[in-house]
Structure 1
Amino acid sequence: MAFELLHLTLAITLALILDKLFGELPRFHPLVAYGRFARAIEKRLWNTTKRRGKVAVILALIPALMFLLLPEVWWLQGLVLYLVIGGRSLGEHGRMVSSALRQNDLNEARAKVGWIVSRETHQMDEKQVVSATMESMLENGNDAVFGALFWFIVGGAPAAVLYRMSNTLDAMWGYKNPRFLNFGWAAAKLDDLLNYLPARLCALTYCVLGSAKTGWRCWQQQANACDSPNGGPVMTAGAGALMITIGGDAVYHGQLKQKALMGDGPYASANDIDRAIALVERGQWLWLALITITTLLVFTPEIIQL
């Protein structure tokens, strides 16, 4: 067990360092290619039934089985984890929005936030741009970092890949509109299931690294008012930990959607986007530190016995 923990720690360390140094591959990213693969399946199988959606999800997840053949060599496992996490990319997208806002370029900020959210952005005011970006940073901190780390710890590279594939399918098909209400049902439910534990660990991480009392209170009191069973805990805890308020009504596909306010304190500003990014970044290093400490506690006695 000690050597397994050591290899796990080395793999996660390698992945986080590579992501910190290089971010996403500039010309080709596996998840982009996977999105094209999923789109081809959708084109072949789409109709308005849940049954077709279930079949589509099963077929779309088959490539994850290939990673069961991957040798359990720590650096190979770490390379795969690097390819499925996206902490640096998430931060870069958020900073593009905050930078545009600091330059008083609202149109540019609207354009940049449109890259990371599905809501309509062309008529957003500055407060709405900030809130949308903050929500994305906090929620995708779980999807792009903590969820992938959690499933890597549980099941290595195959589990992390399966998780990120599920994320991608939910992002493509998990909409409650006429096209995807039934077809995307299975993708959305699978993503909810796989995110249940990671999201709550992510929310706890945000609380630990910020205002713990406020973060915990907002999580317990506000999460159930959110549409997403997993996004709710993450965003409410994150906003509370940062002691700011986000949320409010937004326009999706031409329809105004009422959304609850989250957090406690003044409404978020451009500088708070950078604080949210820093919260996610500190969180991933906290996870690595805890894993490293656990490894040392298990590994050191065995070394002494040798």
Structure 2
Amino acid sequence: MLTAVLAFFIDCILGDPRSRFHPVVLIGNLVAWLDHCFYRPDDANEKKLLAGGVLVLIVLVVCYEAAWCVLRLIELIPLEHLGMALEALLLAFMISPKSLAVAGMEIRNLLKDGELSEARRKVGWIVGRDTEKLSAPEASRAAIETVAENTVDGIISPLFFYLVGGLPLAVLYRAANTMDSMLGYKNAKYLYFGRVAARLDDVLNYIPARMTGALFVLAAFLLHFDGRRAWRILRRDAAKHPSPNGGHAEAPVAGALGIRLGGKNYYFGEPHFRAYMGEATRDIEADDIQKTVRLMYTVTILFLLIAYGGFLLWQQRAIFF
């Protein structure tokens, strides 16, 4: 448990270093290579589905076994604290609170300085929608939605799976999430080939997403936002999100801040409407990005505190029983 806490502090200090040797980059390279090897545009849909499933299985096995082997090597280190530090460093590569915060705050600062064109460009780095014509409130909304939703994918889920099954399971989750981000599109190429990757990501995030939703509500109370409305909007609007999990992060954030998320987005020039979440008690502002980042960090700390408390109670139970 202390390893997870240390990993969070390492991320707060180092962030997510950009390197071609970063574990997630290596996972992405493996996925891209297997995509090239397995995808055949002339295959029948059933064969594409099967090939995509085989790709997913290979990536999961390779990543889990690689993490298991690395962990066994770390355990051979005679200095216990050094081994824990190395494991925490590897876990820190699996989470991204600082990267989310830096990306969100950079967009917030650009909008506050009136640099809308540059803010649009930076939003385009973290979202899949078209950003060239976004208004300032729309750019803020995109950043808020990304920080909220990625609190699940980039923080709580990998920590959850680390607590369940150690570093190998956290790496397996990160591999599944990377495959979803690369293959989980509903377009001509990936509708069948990427379906297994997309469904696996939905299944793995199911429990962590609902835990995150509850933690966002608690964080709203602690930060003196509207916790009651966060709970009401979570219950009312979470299921409206096209993802089975994304709404459990975005809805309570919308409720806590008194804003409305969702609406019309453009992808490759084509409009797509996503159901609204929350109530527009006021216009979205750039400062709402900063508030969302505060909520994200509070949710992360709450998760670690609750998990550590549960760990201590389990230890006490073992002593008495």
- Give TM-score scaled by structure 2 length: 0.87
1:108-123 aligned within 5 A: 108-123=118-133
Matched to 1:177, the amino acid is N
Rounded to whole Å, the distance in 2 between the matches of 1:298 and 1:181 is 44
Among 291, 302, 319, the alignment partner of 1:275 is 291
Q: Give the direction of change, closer, same or farther, for the CA distance of 1:300–1:56 in structure 2 (3 Å limit).
A: closer
**Secondary structure of 1:25's aligned partner:** coil
1:221-232 aligned within 5 A: 221-232=236-247
Q: Is the CA contact (8 Å cut-off) linking 2:63 and 2:171 kept in structure 1?
A: no
Q: Is the CA contact (8 Å cut-off) linking 1:215 and 1:240 kept in structure 2?
A: yes
**Secondary structure of 2:207's aligned partner:** helix
Q: Is the CA contact (8 Å cut-off) linking 1:246 and 1:267 kept in structure 2?
A: no
The offset of 1:286, in angstroms, is 1.2
The offset of 1:82, in angstroms, is 0.8
The offset of 1:26, in angstroms, is 3.6
Among 251, 257, 274, the alignment partner of 1:259 is 274
Rounded to whole Å, the distance in 1 between the matches of 2:215 and 2:317 is 29
1:140-219 aligned within 5 A: 140-210=150-220, 211-219=226-234
Which residue number corresponds to residue 238 of structure 1? 253
The farther-off stretch of 254-263 and 153-162 is 254-263
Identity value in percent: 34
Among 79, 83, 87, the alignment partner of 2:89 is 79
The offset of 1:298, in angstroms, is 4.4
Among 228, 241, 249, the alignment partner of 2:264 is 249
1:71-103 residue CA offsets vs partner (Å, 9 max, x unmatched): 365434322211110110111111111111001
Which residue number corresponds to residue 36 of structure 2? 43
Among 128, 134, 137, the alignment partner of 2:144 is 134
The farther-off stretch of 49-58 and 134-143 is 49-58
Rounded to whole Å, the distance in 1 between the matches of 2:5 and 2:150 is 20
Rounded to whole Å, the distance in 2 between the matches of 1:238 and 1:230 is 14
1:161-207 residue CA offsets vs partner (Å, 9 max, x unmatched): 11111111101111111111111100000000000000000111101
1:17 aligns with 2:26: no
Q: Which runs of 5+ in 2 are unaligned?
A: 76-82, 221-225
* Count of residues paired in the alignment: 296
Q: Is the CA contact (8 Å cut-off) linking 1:97 and 1:112 kept in structure 2?
A: yes
- Give TM-score scaled by structure 1 length: 0.91
